[in-house]
Every structure is written in C-alpha cells, then in structure tokens.
C-alpha cells in the first residue's frame, strides 16, 4: 500500500510517497512554485494557476512512473486563496493567494471590503481570505464573465486530475475562505446574500474526504487544508500536543474535540467532529524571504551581479578600479 501526497505551497510544490505497510516516507520531492504574476497594484499577490497545477502534475507523473503500485493520491495546499472556474471545470483566472491584500484597500466612501463585510454580516474576515477577495472582485467588476464557481488551488488540482466540472471541497478548505460556520460545516449563505453576492457560486462542502475520481486509475481524494494536513502528518490524533509550523506564514495548533470561541485564536475544522485551535501569524518563512531580499539588494548595490546558474556572483569586469585599490 503506497500513497502519494501533494502539497501546493506559496513558495514550493512538494510531493511524498508514503508506504503504509512500512509506515514511512520512501520518496520526497520539492520544486519551486515560481509562478508569481506581475501585477499593476502593490497589494495584489497573484500566481499563474494553470502553471501551478501543471508543475504539480509533472511532479505527480514522475512519482507515478517511478512507483507502479500507488493506491491513492491525497492533496493539500494553501488554504485561503481562490481561483475561478467556468461551467466546464476549467480555471479562468489567476490564483489570488492568501497574501493578496485587496480586502484591506480603502474604496470610495473610505471603507475596505473587510470593513464592509463586518458592517453587513457582523463577521470579521481577514484580507486574503477567499470570500473577501471575491467580494472585492465582484464589487469592482473583476470577476471573469464565464465564472460558474470558485475553489482553492488544491481543489482545482483535484478537478484537473479527475475531470470533475464542479468542485467538492473539504470543510478545512471551506472554512479558510471565510463566512463559514464551523459548527454547522456550511457557508453562511444569509450573510453572503446580504452582501449581494451569488451564493450559487459557492462550492459544495463535505466533512469526510471522499474520492473525487481517478487519475491514471488511481483514486484521488478531496483536498485537505494545509494546516490540518501538517497536523495530521506530524501529530496524528494525539491530544495535548502542540504543533509549531513555519512555512511562508506560521502557526501553532492543538487538537480539540469540541468547538471553542476564543479571542485571538481560530477554531478550524479538522476531520469528523474534531477541530484545531490555531494561533496564526503572517510572519513565518516570509521573514526569511525578506531577509534574503535585503542581502540580494545589498550585494547588488555593492557591485555584484546575478549569474543565471550560480546565484550571486561578482562581476568584476564592470566595476571601476578605485585609485590605490589592489
């Protein structure tokens, strides 16, 4: 019994092959995401969704070719971002990532999308969450004309692999879009309709992890939220155990068998009737990326150039020799 797990991260795309009999990872591979899209606004954070899925599929194919006895394919990925799909199940937009900040931009009248959502629904939803992004796009005429639905990038990968036309998403991903009732396991349709949005564009939600279809004869299950997937992979179902995770962002998570509403803590669906209590920060590995950019800029200003194969490399020929220099 072997399974492949794929994780579409903001910075990298990773895959592992897990041997259920030996209870160990027997192969792991990671490639750079590298699909960021240049934008006209500093608050936009977009990626080429089709290119992201294509890279994930290439990684999957390589592992399927190497191991002929794969029994299942599991999916996870960045939770809060969204893509739009048409009635044929095709992606018709970029990936609006969880780092996208349009929800905090002041519009005419001085209110941001996040503030408008709070005023009309009483719910606080952070910028970068899918339905905040969607609300901004809907109000500003930025939705694709053929839009028939929306989902996360991991959910779209599941559609791409199995040929599904409409998404079926796990509660862990659905909750990450915002305006979601974790206890009921359903979107807050009344609040969404008060905002004037079409609730018919919301994806179907499931509490279990059903099989979406098959890829090359291998069952593909619905995608799990990346925070939940990392917890189950590292901690399992153990109670009284904290998981510290440092990705592009950072989280501390602990298992709970009941729902809690705690200021400053997110209660996220896990599986069945279990939840994760999560303290999340925007600053995880992202801080290291900022530090890396600083050193690149410093070295560039000091006369170093970027070599295509070696990273930063001194370009002495273009530097002027100072009087008296050795």
% of the chain residues with pLDDT over 70: 90
% of the chain residues with pLDDT over 90: 62
Q: How far is CA 291 from CA 110, 281, 295, 309, in A?
A: 34, 17, 7, 21
Q: Tell me: pLDDT of 9 over 50.
A: yes
Q: What average pLDDT does this structure show over 274-288?
A: 74
CA angle 90, 93, 98 (to 5 degrees): 115
85-133: pLDDT as tens digits: 999 999 999 999 999 999 999 887 789 999 999 999 999 999 999 999 9
Measured CA to CA, the distance from residue 36 to residue 131 in angstroms comes to 21
Q: What average pLDDT does this structure show over 228-239?
A: 84
Report residue 181: phi and psi, to 5°.
-95, 105
pLDDT band at 324 (very low <50, low <70, confident <90, very high): very low
Q: Tell me: pLDDT of 295 over 80.
A: yes
Pairing mode, if any, of strands 149-151 and 266-269?
A: unpaired
Q: What average pLDDT does this structure show over 186-207?
A: 93
Residue entry with tokens 């609730």: 199
pLDDT in the model for residue 110: 84
pLDDT in the model for residue 316: 38
The whole-chain average pLDDT of the chain stands at 87
pLDDT in the model for residue 240: 79
Q: What average pLDDT does this structure show over 212-220?
A: 96
60-75: pLDDT as tens digits: 999 999 998 999 999 9
């Amino acid at each position: 019994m072997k399974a492949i797990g794929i994780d579409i991260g903001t910075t990298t795309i990773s895959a592992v092959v897990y041997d259920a009999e030996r209870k160990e990872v027997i192969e792991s591979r990671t490639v750079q995401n590298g699909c960021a899209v240049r934008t006209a606004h500093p608050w936009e954070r977009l990626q080429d969704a089709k290119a992201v899925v294509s890279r994930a599929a290439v990684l999957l194919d390589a592992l399927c070719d190497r191991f002929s006895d794969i029994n299942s394919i599991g999916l996870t990925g960045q939770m809060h971002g969204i893509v739009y799909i048409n009635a044929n199940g095709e992606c018709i937009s970029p990936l609006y990532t969880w780092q996208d900040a349009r929800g905090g931009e002041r519009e005419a009248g001085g209110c941001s999308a996040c503030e408008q959502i709070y005023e009309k629904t009483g719910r606080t939803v952070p910028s970068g969450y899918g339905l905040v992004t969607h609300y901004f796009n809907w109000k500003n005429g930025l939705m694709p004309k053929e839009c028939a639905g929306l989902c996360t990038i991991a959910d779209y990968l599941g559609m791409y692999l199995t040929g599904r036309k409409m998404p079926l998403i796990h509660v862990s991903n659905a909750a990450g879009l915002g305006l979601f009732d974790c206890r009921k396991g359903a979107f807050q349709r009344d609040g969404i309709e008060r905002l004037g949005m079409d609730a018919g564009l919301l994806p179907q939600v499931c509490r279990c992890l059903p099989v979406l279809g098959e890829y090359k004869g291998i069952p593909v299950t619905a995608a799990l939220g990346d925070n939940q997937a990392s917890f189950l992979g590292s901690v399992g179902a153990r109670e009284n155990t904290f998981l510290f995770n440092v990705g592009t962002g950072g989280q501390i998570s602990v298992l709970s068998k009941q729902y809690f509403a705690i200021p400053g803590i997110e209660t996220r669906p896990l599986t069945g009737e279990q939840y994760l209590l999560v303290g999340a920060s925007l600053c995880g590995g992202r801080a290291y990326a900022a530090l890396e950019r600083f050193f690149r800029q410093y070295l560039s200003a000091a006369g170093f150039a970027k070599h295509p194969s070696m990273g930063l490399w001194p370009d002495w020929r273009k530097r002027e020799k100072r009087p008296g220099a050795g």
